[in-house]
Amino acid sequence: MSESLHKRRKLIAGNWKMNTTSSRALELAGQIADSATQYLDNPLLDVALFPPAVFAERIAREVLSQVRIGVGLQNCYNEPYGAFTGEISVDMIASLKFGYCLAGHSERRTIFKESNELVAHKVHALLKSDVIPVLCIGETLDERNSGRMFEVLTAQLDAVYQSLNSHTAERIIIAYEPVWAIGTGVSASKEEAQSAHEFIRAHVGRFCDSEKVLILYGGSVTNENAFDLLSQHDIDGALVGGASLVAEKFLGIIQSADKVLSSI
């Protein structure tokens, strides 16, 4: 294994999307915290939960305050305050000390028509407020089949990176999530995922030292395929949707990351 793999951490992140209720959210966070305890001692392994925004503060305060599991939000708006009914500003997120926020998840891009430019504004606002952006990018099946995958990924990355200095750029976590693999039960193969991650790392290398950048894979990650995916050289973790709603399945993914880390 190359030296660079030793230097990068692994992050296992659970995106609960618009699921759970207040009591179930607290219960699920508690189950994950209890079952993952022994793996949280691994200093190279980070775990983060992205619950619905309305439950995030209670989870952080009542369940995870003594546990090394981060909390993030699934979305934000880039304006600092004002007449934007229903939106959550980056400063609000920062004031509650949430460490992360997703930006540009494919469901936001597709259902809510978020453009590359809007996603870039959100990422820049998060960076300014010291909240780590998890920038989600990925191609649709049609874009892949018509040979436009690299063009799409390039446009999604360039919109965000082209105005950043290298030090700032290195703080962004990228989640490569092929749209055709999200919530479908059909994950990218480890080879497909590695090849996309290698391309992304090389491209981001134009803007910063991309060996320092964490690139997560997302799209139907389960406890069964996690080890193979996480063993790939350029895959530094997973953004997990469905499987993060079941504590045992999410734990299996955390265990896989721990196992990969101990094998290198």
Name residues contacting ligand PEP, limited to 6-35 (CB under 6 A).
15, 17
CA-CA distances (angstroms) from residue 14 to 69, 85, 251? 11, 27, 11
Question: 94: closest CA among 56, 136, 47?
Answer: 56
How many residues bind ligand PEP, per CB under 6 A?
Answer: 14
Of 134 and 169, the one with the shorter C-beta distance to ligand PEP is 134
Q: Does 220 bind ligand PEP (CB under 6 A)?
A: yes
Give the contact letters, 132-171, x = binds to ligand PEP (CB under 6 A), - = no.
----------------------------------------
**For residues 61 and 26, is the Cβ–Cβ distance under 8 A?**
no
Of 107 and 234, the one with the shorter C-beta distance to ligand PEP is 107
Of 15 and 210, the one with the shorter C-beta distance to ligand PEP is 15
Which part of the chain contacts ligand PEP (CB under 6 A), choosing from 33-41, 56-64, 119-127, 236-244?
236-244
Q: Does 221 bind ligand PEP (CB under 6 A)?
A: yes
How many residues appear in the chain? 264
Q: Does 104 bind ligand PEP (CB under 6 A)?
A: no
And the tokens for 81?
A: 């305050």
d(CA 1, CA 201): 17
175 in helix, strand or coil? strand
Shortest Cβ 153–ligand PEP spacing (Å): 16
Buried b (16+ CB within 10 A) or exposed e, 156-189: bbebbbeebeeebbbbbbbbbbbbbbbeeeebbe
Binding site for ligand PEP (CB under 6 A): 15, 17, 177, 182-183, 218-221, 239-243
